[in-house]
Amino acid sequence: MKYLSILTSLVGVALGARPFLDVADTGLEDYLVGSGNWTEGTLPSLQDMRALPDFEFSAKQVLADEDWAFYRLAAGQEWGYRNNFDVWGKVQLRPRFMTNVVNLQDNIGIELFGYNFSAPFFIAPAAQAGYAHPRGELNLAEAAGDENLLYNAALFATKTIEEIDEVKRGDTWNGRQVIFQQIYTNNNLSITWNDLDRAKKTGAGAIVLTIDTPGNSVRVRGARYSGQDYWEIFDEVRSRTDLPIILKGIATVQDALEAVERGADGIYISNHGGRQLEFSPSPIEVAYEIYRNAPEIFQKVPVLADSGVRTGSDVLKLLALGVKAVGLGRPFMFANVYGYEGIIKAIRLLKNEIIQDGWNLGIGSLEDLEPSFLNLNTLAQNVNLLDN
């Protein structure tokens, strides 16, 4: 027994020390090298993309170093970035068998603010899509429209709000594609009001107001000169538009509660993909904190989430806790090295994973998902309980 105990300890240390894989090993590189039809530094065939991490590998082959670094960068020593991926392994699935799953493929759509979308995930706001392809965000908008998927356009895009508006599809959502528009506040609030007006004129379905980047020096100066706290600015934004306002960057149950109390139409759990604050919690950790402390939030407003999502099972885990829609940013930026067709392929791969994983989980509809499908014991060890 003594030797067994020592062996067990050594195995634990070895597993704990295993290196972090920047790109998940899907077997793509071995396949490409073995095929003899691919040269390192060139773009693999789109037909060889079988999972979202494949697009990251492909993008690294062809992007300029500085463009790759922009997409890949994270805060500090990148603990938050790594945790966004590692945390999914702490939440095991609890499948149910002998259930009716036949119609799941027809029941993965969602509704947000009166708009129906074909899947419970969306293209999250990510800046500078033009680094991957000359058409940049136009590819994202067109692919989302053709797949009836929500696209949340980034404010800091390579194409303007108006240019993106020009390529919206005209055969969905009562005659015209609906896009949600991300907005940042600016030290000159007249710029913010102008951005709001432009979004309204181009038919935005909602405003996604990002709140998790106060460390930017421009915004710090803006707050200093305006003499307003963030909630005062939110109230002004609220008074200037009748569009739904979703607050992006929620990282605690306290902020979630206050956002709902102050009239936010939705909340958006995010740690900016690990890019903003090191040691910030992952989306599933925040979703669980809300579930344990204030589960009624999920009934009061739609809850969106992003950061570190790469698989259909990641999406299902967040939905099981009460999240309504799950965003992905980097995977679609990487897929854009293939242009429009790459975005389409990525969307369809993830839809298929959600259906396949959902079948094996034992659900016939997204409505069947609930926290009992998850083993949350590991998360429970770290969650902040308000009554403690």
Does the annotation flag 75 for ligand binding?
Answer: no
CB within 8 Å of 368: residues ≥ 6 apart: 362
Query: How many domains does one find in the chain?
Result: 1
Q: Bridge-partner residues for 116, per DSSP? A: 111
Per the structure, the complete domain to which residue 213 belongs is given by 104-379
Any domain includes 77:
no
248 labeled part of a ligand binding site: yes
Q: pLDDT tens string for the chain (388 positions)?
A: 444 444 444 444 444 445 666 788 999 999 999 999 999 999 999 999 999 999 999 999 999 999 999 999 998 999 999 999 999 999 999 999 999 999 999 999 999 999 999 999 999 999 999 999 999 999 999 999 999 999 999 999 999 999 999 999 985 555 789 999 999 987 788 999 999 999 999 999 999 999 876 544 333 333 444 445 788 889 999 999 999 999 999 999 999 999 999 999 999 999 988 888 888 999 999 999 999 999 999 999 999 999 999 999 999 999 999 999 999 999 999 999 999 999 999 999 999 999 999 999 999 999 999 999 999 999 998 777 776 4
Residue 76 lies in a domain: no
Residues 6+ apart with CB under 8 A from 76: 278, 279
Domain-embedded: residue 31: no
- Known catalytic residues are 272
Contact between 87 and 285 under an 8 Å Cβ cutoff? The reply is yes
Phi, psi of 44 (to 5 degrees): -65, 165
- In 3D, which of 301, 200, 192 has the Cα closest to residue 241? 200
The answer to the question of residue 341 being in a domain is: yes
- Whichever domain contains 231, its CATH number is 3.20.20.70
C-alpha dihedral sign at 40, 43, 49, 54 = positive
Is 306 one of the annotated binding-site residues? yes
In a domain, 385, yes or no: no
Does 361 map to a domain?
yes
What is the amino acid identity at position 352? Answer: N
Bridge partners, 209 (sequence order): 183, 247
Annotated ligand binding at 254? The verdict is: no
* pTM for this model (two decimals): 0.91
Vertex 160, ends 157 and 162: CA angle to 5°?
145
Residue 58 lies inside a defined structural domain of this protein? no
CB-neighbour burial class of residue 119 (10 A; exposed 0-12, middle 13-18, buried 19+): buried
Q: Is residue 168 part of a domain?
A: yes
